[in-house]
Structure formats: C-alpha cells, structure tokens
Amino acid sequence: MQKNACYEEFFNTVKSIISPDRLLINEPLARHTTFCIGGPADYLIQPSCTEEVAAVLHAAKRSGMVLTILGNGSNVLVRDKGIRGVVMKFDEHMSYLRCEKQAIIAGAGTVLADVAKYACDLEMTGLEFAIGIPGSIGGAVYMNAGAYEGELSSVVAAVTAVCPDGRIVRFLKSDIQFSYRHSIFQENGCIICEIEFALHQGNKEEIQSKMLELTVKRENKQPLEMPSAGSTFKRPSGYFAGTLIEQAGLKGLQIGGAQVSLKHAGFIVNTGGATACDVLSLIKEVQKRVYDTFGVHLQPEVRVIGE
C-alpha cells in the first residue's frame, strides 16, 4: 500500500473514533514538549479513554502506520524533522483520579504532581518524592521516574495497558520488571493507560511539610525557568552526572541555542531557538569531555525520537 493511500485509509477510519479537536494534522511537536523543540507529527491524536487507545492502535496497524506514544513530553527530545505516522499523546484528555478501596487510580495523562497532591488530600503517604517530577504518570511509569531517593516502582501496584495485539491487560507490579529508569513497557510495546497506586495512611501535615521541602529544594537547584527535558543524563554508578559535568568545567557550554545549565550542570536547557541537532551535539560533546576527564561514560536519560 502506498504511503498516501495508508494515510487516507487511516484518516478515514480514525475520524470516526476521535473528535476533530483531538485529531491534529502536521502538528509541530515543539508545542507538545517541555524542551519546546521538535518538528511536526503527521498526525497527533489525543485519546480520552483506554478503548480509544485500542481503536487507534487497530486503525494504525490496519493501515500500516507507525505509532509513537508521547506522554507530557517532559523527558523527550523530538528530532527536527518530526515524526512520521501517528503520535498518540496522553494529556489532559486522559487525565483522571479516583480512589477505590484505599488505592488511587490515575489515567496515564494525569500530571504526576497532581497525583501526589491528590494522595496528600486523602492523607495517603508514599508519593511525596514525586511532587517535583514533571510530566504525566504514564511516562513516569514507563521510565520508572524517580527523585530524592524515591521511584515509581515503590508505589505502583498495577498498570492497565493496551498490548500490540489489541488486548487490554492488567499488569501486576511483579510483571512490570522495574529497575533503574526501566520497566517492561520499554520492551513489550504495550501502551500504558491506567495506573493503580498502593499507598499508606499518613499524617497530612507531615506529608505537606515533606512536599514543601522537596518543592523548595527543586526550585532552588533546578533551572525551571528555562525549557528543558529534565535531567539530561542517567546517574552513573558511584557518581552524580551533574557533579562530573561541573567538575569538567562544562557549566555554560553552549552549541547553538542549547546550553549546559548555569544553575545545574545536569540539565541542558533551551536558551531560545535551540534545535534538536544543537542538543544532540551538546550531549555528544559533554559525553566526550567527561569521559576524557574522568573515564566515565554518561548515558542520556532523555528519550530521543523522530527524524
């Protein structure tokens, strides 16, 4: 099937599934990432329920269209030519929270900080560490996001996902194979739709105090005033990436509009008009200089997608 015929078949099918305001054509992905970088998606779809996710997946497979999943775009660098095929973005349309039998249930598009605040309101402890992690809960589970010695793996009880064959499956924690910045969803192709958290009853004032402490710490240390994708590199064993980068004298190093943050060397920021090429070139240069100085190879934490 020719490319244009694939696209026409997909569009004719999916327009009966997704409302027009949630089906965007040639949409610049710079509008949908916290880096404010990225070329266009041929189609950008914002599902509102698990059943829509399954239906879009089926339509994409039937038409031979490549499907890319995007959460809140907070840990992603989209290349400058964008993404061909279909991008399914989990955002406010797939955002909800409810409490069932002492468990919190969240839609994959729910902002992680909102989940932490909701837990606090219910006097449930365990998610305080997540108050400052940007992005959606689906993306956070996908990469087992963490901060301040906490990780999603410590609080996730189960995940409902759509598998490549279209089945809707509930994965228990033991099925998810969590490890540092890793989950089974990075290998099995299943699309995270809903997350169940197992938390404990706590003292609301203590929970609020801890969340405030971590929020202040984050605001004082991280370059939140500039577009970025969060921490650029994974933590190497026995070291801190930001410390190595700073000790190598790389704070402020700039290529095009991309710069090693002057506030926290573990972040690469967009000073204005940065391209994905700028960021990738800067990542490569930082890796080289840190390795030449310390013999440590830094692995990117940011997910790079697109053309």
- Provide the annotated active-site residues: 181, 231, 301
- Under 8 Å between Cβ of 133 and 113: yes
Pairing of strands 150-151, 146-147: antiparallel
**Where does 21-121 have alpha helices with state H?**
50-63, 112-121
- Selection from 26, 19, 54 nearest residue 40 by Cα: 26
Local structure of residue 87 (DSSP, 8 states): E
- Strand-pairing partners, residue 46, are none
State the Cα–Cα distance between residues 222 and 218, nearest whole angstrom. 6
Question: ∠26-28-30 over CA atoms, to 5°?
Answer: 165
- Under 8 Å between Cβ of 105 and 99: yes
Residue with tokens 């240069």: 285
- Selection from 47, 51, 58, 50 nearest residue 10 by Cα: 58
DSSP-derived secondary structure for 237-299? TTS-HHHHHHHTT-TT-EETTEEE-SS-TTEEEE-SS--HHHHHHHHHHHHHHHHHHHS-PPP
- Selection from 238, 284, 236 nearest residue 260 by Cα: 284
- Under 8 Å between Cβ of 200 and 234: no
